[in-house]
Structure 1
Amino acid sequence: MVESDFYIVGGGPAGIAAAYFLSQKGFKVEVFEAKKVLGKKPCGGGVPDEINKLIPLQPRSILQEVYGMEIYYEDNLIGMWETNRPIFYVIDRTIYLESLVKDLDIVVNKNSPVKISNNVFISKKGRLDPNKVIVATGVSWRLRERDMVAQTLQYVLDDVKLDNPHHMKFLFYRDLVGYAWIFPLGEKKVEVGIGSLNKSLGYMEERLREIIKRNNFNEGKVEKREGAPIDMGGLKPDWGGNGPYVVGEAIGAVMPLTGEGIRPSIITSSLLAHSIERGSDYVKTLKNSDLFKATKLQRKILEKVYKNGVSIPLEGVQLEPRTVELIYRLGMGKMDLKTLFHIARKLPSLFMGLI
């Protein structure tokens, strides 16, 4: 077979982004994806507008633009922030990823699982050189070594009535270490999901059904029900390797407070491509990144909440729009002191001893 410079195992956001960035730098890459289509892992499918600074979204991959954010505690609205521009997009991951490889010299092998055992990688084309392998297999990589894996569950419902099809909603509950979400997928289509570190799937199912009923979504048609584990433990630079390399959720590229994984995964792939081009140490690059600093602080906050076994302290709180905006920024990894101290003043018990 014709030798490639790099072989990428996994065709999700991290793997395809790695192929995209390396191909742009002149490297010959080949992707092996176990499924028949790219990016089929169940997830919220939401990305902040900052994604366009990494790889611009193609219009046809956007299911819905989001202009506002609402926060609920025990099903009561406690804060809302609206803008006149999109702050968040709900996307079709498959269309997005397919668009990235369409016009580049990237070989994508679908329905082509790679057998992995003790850093030995066997593809349908033969054994792969581990020094040329980029692992982008997600949470399954070193799964037993992860200490903060949450479970998620979500429904997609069609033909529903949305009170505002351009708002996303986040719902927190007293006994839930995690949150539920409502993402618009169009004018009459919605995704309702939940993620938790401390509750069973049975609890999550019951809570989702209550949310669906309360929002009158039960009159719609259930299009799909799906779920997947997600690593909330933060970025693990030492897992990055220097052959095989590791990117995306496989090294914990998920924001611990929000579960956002697409953009962080793409960031790790960008850092890898930069390190390879410069001949620099990838692990050191990860450790010096803003992404690592952000996930490290978010993990500390999540650990504090997890230890107490209760949700973020929102009892009796009313959030002004500016505070909701800054909570959004914090969730996306914006760690400037102005943001941190503003939120700390509003939620002092959450930040006590952390900053």
Structure 2
Amino acid sequence: MPEEIAIIGGGPAGAAAAVALSKAGLRAAVYEAMDRLAVKPCGRAVPATSDLPLPIPRDVIIEPVRRAVLYVDGVKTVDVELSGAGYIVDKEELLEEWLALAGAEVHKSSRFNPFTGVVRAGGETREVKGGLLAGGVAFYGGEKILAVQALARSEGLKGLDGLYIYFDTGLLGYYWVFPYGDIAEVGVGGYADFEALRRLLERFVEGNELTRGARLTDLSGAPIAVGGLDLGTLKGLVKVGEAAGFVLPLTGEGIRPSVISGYYAGAALAKGDDPISALSSLPVARAVRVQRSILEAVKRMSQERRREFLMAMPAEVHEEVALGSLRTGRILRALASRPDLALKLIKYMGGGG
């Protein structure tokens, strides 16, 4: 195995993979398409769960997450106080620190051509032979939705203490309000185009008690992978992170699943093991599969049945989704306590109406 391994993409999956490789004495050459890291719009929330393979440096933490609140069509279903359960982070600083920790050779403004298998870096063209493809949603082959995000500024948002997620059964999507210092990040993701989502976000901000009257700036949009896992290779590169579908389909959480996938794919590669097998067996992979199955079932329901189904879900299920705990066993046990809901879910998973 060469001492330097190519990684396409310097996002969460690529940075985590570089750290894993460095622990095995291997150096990563990271090729990032943009001129800076963390360009993609993102809620910046990272749950501090035991499955996160890398610690979050204290100096990149903007503030801890102290509360998680979940609504379904305006009805509050979860409101839990948290202690050390997660952080809002400066994503760019986080990635820079992890890549520095790995001693990676980072090439920014370096675009990979998936048709030829070459990358243009620093005016030179290099052929990439083997490594990891962590280039994000552009290399994902499954279903995607669009997300639109903005910064919200108002006096009422100062001191916001938690993550607020609002499911909308009509949109078949969700809104979010996350703290970010003295302002907030607000967004919407769902099955609609950019202009429709922009209008929905503006309407949500004006009607929501937390954000009413806030001024929106820095509006941006990006696709999110929600179609489940898309494991495989492209030009000999093993896909990881969002390129491989490591995003939780029900909430769009992607930083932590991408970090986990990148780290363990890098570790498998360093040991000479099959990275795809390693990725497939991860608990987070199971969580993605379960959430995708639930999303598929909910998509087949009418809006009325969708609302009834989600409102009848046990509180444990809503809490797992709100916290992004990835404990699929708890979700399945909670559903087992409501066999009527489990049967409905199975029916819709099978394509029934």
Cα deviations by residue, 1:57-112 (Å, 9 ceiling, x for unpaired): 112222222122112222232331223x0323222110111111234421112223
Cα deviations by residue, 1:196-249 (Å, 9 ceiling, x for unpaired): 1x3333332222112211236353443311110011011222x14693222111
Match of 2:88 in 1: 90
Q: Are 1:74 and 1:174, in contact at CA under 8 Å, matched by a contact in 2?
A: yes
Helix, strand or coil for the counterpart of 1:35? coil
Across the aligned residues of Structure 1 and Structure 2, the Cα RMSD in angstroms comes to 2.9
Q: Are 1:81 and 1:321, in contact at CA under 8 Å, matched by a contact in 2?
A: no
Match of 1:154 in 2: 149
| Structure 1 gaps, min length 5 | none
Match of 1:295 in 2: 288
Whole-angstrom distance in 2 between the partners of 1:111 and 1:138: 15
Q: Are 1:176 and 1:310, in contact at CA under 8 Å, matched by a contact in 2?
A: no
Give the alignment partner of residue 184 of structure 1, picking from 179, 193, 206. Answer: 179
When normalised by structure 2's length, the TM-score is 0.86
Counterpart residue type for residue 133 of structure 2: V
1:342 aligns with 2:341: no
Taking a change above 3 Å as real, the CA distance of residues 302 and 323 of structure 1, as seen in their structure-2 partners, is: closer
Taking a change above 3 Å as real, the CA distance of residues 181 and 65 of structure 1, as seen in their structure-2 partners, is: same
Counterpart residue type for residue 42 of structure 2: C
Whole-angstrom distance in 2 between the partners of 1:106 and 1:312: 51
Match of 1:208 in 2: 201
Whole-angstrom distance in 1 between the partners of 2:69 and 2:36: 33
Taking a change above 3 Å as real, the CA distance of residues 54 and 191 of structure 1, as seen in their structure-2 partners, is: same
Using the TM superposition, give the Cα deviation of residue 27 of structure 1 relative to its aligned residue in structure 2, in angstroms. 0.6
Q: Are 1:177 and 1:311, in contact at CA under 8 Å, matched by a contact in 2?
A: no
Whole-angstrom distance in 1 between the partners of 2:302 and 2:224: 19
Using the TM superposition, give the Cα deviation of residue 119 of structure 1 relative to its aligned residue in structure 2, in angstroms. 3.0
Give the alignment partner of residue 268 of structure 2, picking from 275, 284, 287. Answer: 275
Counterpart residue type for residue 157 of structure 1: A
Say which is worse superposed, 154-163 or 9-18, in terms of deviation.
154-163
Q: Are 1:81 and 1:324, in contact at CA under 8 Å, matched by a contact in 2?
A: no
Taking a change above 3 Å as real, the CA distance of residues 108 and 276 of structure 1, as seen in their structure-2 partners, is: same
Give the alignment partner of residue 108 of structure 2, picking from 99, 107, 110. Answer: 110
Using the TM superposition, give the Cα deviation of residue 133 of structure 1 relative to its aligned residue in structure 2, in angstroms. 3.5
Taking a change above 3 Å as real, the CA distance of residues 343 and 60 of structure 1, as seen in their structure-2 partners, is: farther
Match of 1:101 in 2: 99
Q: Are 2:8 and 2:14, in contact at CA under 8 Å, matched by a contact in 1?
A: yes
Helix, strand or coil for the counterpart of 2:178? strand
Whole-angstrom distance in 2 between the partners of 1:276 and 1:323: 35
Match of 1:41 in 2: 40
Sequence identity, in percent? Answer: 27
When normalised by structure 1's length, the TM-score is 0.86
Match of 2:68 in 1: 69
Q: Are 1:65 and 1:88, in contact at CA under 8 Å, matched by a contact in 2?
A: yes
| Structure 2 gaps, min length 5 | none
Whole-angstrom distance in 1 between the partners of 2:345 and 2:322: 16
Helix, strand or coil for the counterpart of 1:253? coil
Helix, strand or coil for the counterpart of 1:234? coil
Q: Are 2:149 and 2:187, in contact at CA under 8 Å, matched by a contact in 1?
A: yes
Taking a change above 3 Å as real, the CA distance of residues 129 and 167 of structure 1, as seen in their structure-2 partners, is: same
| Correspondences of 1:140-151 after superposition (within 5 Å) | 140-141=138-139, 143=140, 145-146=141-142, 148-151=143-146
Q: Are 1:271 and 1:285, in contact at CA under 8 Å, matched by a contact in 2?
A: yes
Give the alignment partner of residue 161 of structure 2, picking from 159, 166, 186. Answer: 166
| Correspondences of 1:245-260 after superposition (within 5 Å) | 245-260=238-253
Say which is worse superposed, 101-110 or 157-166, in terms of deviation.
157-166
Match of 1:325 in 2: 319
Taking a change above 3 Å as real, the CA distance of residues 192 and 51 of structure 1, as seen in their structure-2 partners, is: farther
Match of 1:136 in 2: 134
Helix, strand or coil for the counterpart of 1:50? coil
